[in-house]
DNA sequence: TATCTGCTGTGGTCCGACCACGCAAGGTAG
DNA sequence: CTACCTTGCGTGGTCGGACCACAGCAGATA
């Protein structure tokens, strides 16, 4: 058992039993090291891991906002993990697209038209209707739009996963624009498809919204010359 | 910019440009520290994070398997992140179940009956048919079955997500057995539903497999008294 | 030739020190 | 009495050094 793992286990236990709750402060690094009979380095390594996982947040100085305190940001871990594993080329665009389809079709079918996420999606929809947008700006809004729609379903985990995928989505969507025969044409199609998705959710058409968003995602990648996300081994 | 972040960025860059590839060794901690003009502690903190993310693996000693070398295990980050955030009570069972439905319905619809994952699922199916299984043993196999079916779709990211959810699935499925009116009855139903899912995949019935696995997942949680995964705010 | 024994480099752990930061209490000038 | 300023103190951030256990490898030995 490595020393920092002991610290991780201790903190995990404190969290599970409720002795440590959201917003509370951890003991100081020096105190924690003495309490668990490990070095301060080991404590710091554990805290670094928790920080990377989005479980705690560290700040120097004194006062109520200083020190290491418990947060709850499930997205940081997913986002950096996905980014890193895409750096190792272990993750392909196909995988991202398919995961989007799986998550977003479910989310579209369960989206609540009265949620904050839906309102944000509507605002982004309006912003994307501006005529003087460049491709990069449009795709930035597009990625945020899809994250917002997904969060309208009210599922913390699915929202976190979609949020974590945002950067990857944006990057690859941008890279694929060069493969498109006519960006303006595609952009206008995307706009009308977005409106269709929002309309379907607003009228409570779960199946319609689900089908529309699937076609919306798959058609873009098909149009960009990837032959559709389902046929990675296509001729 | 914190020191360990500098190390993370350097390694991420090495990975992206391909100077560091899967299976290769990182420079020693002391060498890396000197090269980047940071302390060895900072290097270690960065490596710890990468280790928690499943990007590298450290081993003491000498020889080809010693030192810190690049791996590719996207599951470790997800699994520990999900576990930690469930400890903070930021994730609920409802969220897990809904995510399962989203991922597994897609995976069932895209599962390949000739893949290794499908073969493993069939083997687990046979193992679950044994009559002398306790609830815990059955649910362990059940969780592995669902992960295997999901991996049959051939998507690295979705497989990783499902694998990461396995521990959580198993835990909560086990806790819910006490709510069931008749475990033997439910268990037999689960068995036949599993056979139905496998049969649907084998005959290429995407829609059928998808519907079956959704009902399979949702019915269990409904039967356990949660009123269905979609009605978390039910009376 | 076969075996043993150091040597070397690896990560693992610990200690002590110093720094920058930022609030809070106290002193100080008005 | 009020408003400002100084100082103290605890926080995380960083650094250098030291020692340990481990595992392979090369040279010495039987």
Nucleic strand C within 7 A of Cβ A9: no
Query: Distance between CA A110 and CA A153 in Å, rounded?
Result: 5
Q: Is B55 helix (H, G, I), strand (E, B) or coil?
A: coil
pLDDT at B108: 98
Cβ neighbours of B94 in A, within 8 Å: 155
3-state secondary structure chain A: CCHHHHHHHHHHHHHHHCCCCCCCECCCHHHHHHHHCCCHHHHHHHHHHHHHCCCEEEECCCCCCCEEEECCCHHHHHHHHHHHHHHCCCCCHHHHHHHHHHHHHHHHHHCCCCCHHHHHHHHHHHHHCCCCCCHHHHHHHHHHHHHHHHHCCCCHHHHHHHHHHHHHHHHHHHHHHHHCCCHHHHHHHHHHHHHHHHHHHHCCCHHHHHHHHHHHHHHHHHHHHHCCCCCCCCC
**Binary contact (A90, B156; C-beta < 8 A):** yes
Query: Distance between CA B24 and CA B27 in Å, rounded?
Result: 10
Residue tagged 């700040």 (tokens): A59
How far is C-alpha B177 from the chain's CA centre? 22
| B234 confidence band (pLDDT: 50, 70, 90) | very low
On whether the CB atoms of residues B197 and B122 are closer than 8 A, the answer is no
Q: Which helix (H) or strand (E) holds B108?
A: helix B93-110
pLDDT at A231: 41
| B227 confidence band (pLDDT: 50, 70, 90) | low
Rounded to an integer, the average pLDDT of B52-77 is: 94
Nucleic strand D within 7 A of Cβ A28: yes
pLDDT digits (tens, 9 = 90+) for B112-162: 999 999 999 999 999 999 988 999 999 999 999 999 999 999 999 999 999
Q: Tell me the shortest Cα–Cα distance from A38 to chain B, in angstroms.
A: 15
**Binary contact (A72, B85; C-beta < 8 A):** yes
Q: Which helix (H) or strand (E) holds B36?
A: helix B29-36
Give B14 or A232, the one with higher predicted confidence.
Answer: B14
Closest alpha carbon within chain A to B103:
A102
Nucleic strand D within 7 A of Cβ B39: yes
| A147 confidence band (pLDDT: 50, 70, 90) | very high
pLDDT at A87: 86
| A228 confidence band (pLDDT: 50, 70, 90) | very low
Greatest alpha-carbon span in chain B: 65
B 63-122: CB within 7 Å of strand D: 63-66
Query: Distance between CA A94 and CA B157 in Å, rounded?
Result: 10
On whether the CB atoms of residues B226 and B94 are closer than 8 A, the answer is yes
Q: Is B22 helix (H, G, I), strand (E, B) or coil?
A: coil
Half-sphere exposure of A59 (CA within 13 A, CB side): 11
Mean pLDDT, rounded, of chain B: 92
**Binary contact (A74, B87; C-beta < 8 A):** no
pLDDT at A226: 62
pLDDT at B12: 96
pLDDT at A232: 40
| B217 confidence band (pLDDT: 50, 70, 90) | very high
pLDDT digits (tens, 9 = 90+) for A101-139: 999 999 999 999 999 999 999 999 999 999 889 999 999
Cβ neighbours of B88 in A, within 8 Å: 15, 21-22, 55, 70, 72
The b/e string for B200-230 (b: 16+ C-beta within 10 A; e otherwise) is bbeeeeeebbbbbbbebbbebbbbbebeebb
DSSP secondary structure string for all residues of B192-229 = HHHHHHHHHHHTT-HHHHHHHHHHHHHHHHIIIII--T
pLDDT digits (tens, 9 = 90+) for B174-189: 989 988 989 999 999 9
Distance A33 CA to C13 C1' (A): 12
Q: Tell me the shortest Cα–Cα distance from B131 to chain A, in angstroms.
A: 35
DSSP secondary structure string for all residues of B141-189 = HHHHHHHHHHHTT--HHHHHHHHHHHHHHHHHHHHHGGG-S-HHHHHHH
Rounded to an integer, the average pLDDT of B81-92 is: 86
**Binary contact (A102, B107; C-beta < 8 A):** yes
Please state the length of chain B: 235
Cβ neighbours of A82 in B, within 8 Å: 74, 157
DSSP B115: S
pLDDT at A227: 55
Give B91 or A7, the one with higher predicted confidence.
Answer: A7
């Amino acid at each position: 058992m490595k020393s920092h793992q002991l610290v991780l286990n201790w903190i995990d236990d404190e969290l599970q039993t409720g002795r440590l709750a959201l917003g509370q402060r951890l003991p100081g690094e020096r105190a924690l090291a003495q309490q668990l009979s490990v070095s301060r380095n080991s404590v710091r390594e554990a805290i670094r891991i928790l920080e990377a996982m989005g479980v705690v947040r560290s700040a120097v100085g004194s006062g109520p906002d200083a020190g290491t305190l418990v947060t709850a940001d499930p997205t940081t871990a997913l986002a950096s993990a996905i980014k890193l594993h895409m750096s190792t080329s272990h993750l392909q665009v196909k995988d991202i697209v398919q995961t989007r389809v799986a998550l977003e079709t479910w989310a579209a079918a369960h989206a609540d038209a009265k949620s904050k996420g839906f309102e944000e999606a509507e605002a982004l929809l309006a912003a994307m209707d501006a005529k003087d947008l460049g491709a990069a700006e449009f795709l930035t809004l597009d990625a945020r739009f899809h994250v917002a729609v997904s969060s309208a379903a009210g599922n913390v985990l699915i929202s976190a996963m979609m949020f974590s995928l945002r950067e990857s989505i944006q990057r690859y969507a941008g890279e694929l624009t060069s493969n498109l025969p006519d960006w303006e044409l595609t952009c206008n199609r995307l706009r009308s498809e977005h409106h269709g998705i929002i309309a379907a959710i607003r009228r409570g058409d779960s199946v319609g919204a689900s089908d529309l968003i699937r076609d919306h995602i798959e058609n873009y990648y098909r149009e960009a010359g990837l032959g559709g996300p389902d046929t990675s081994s296509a001729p």
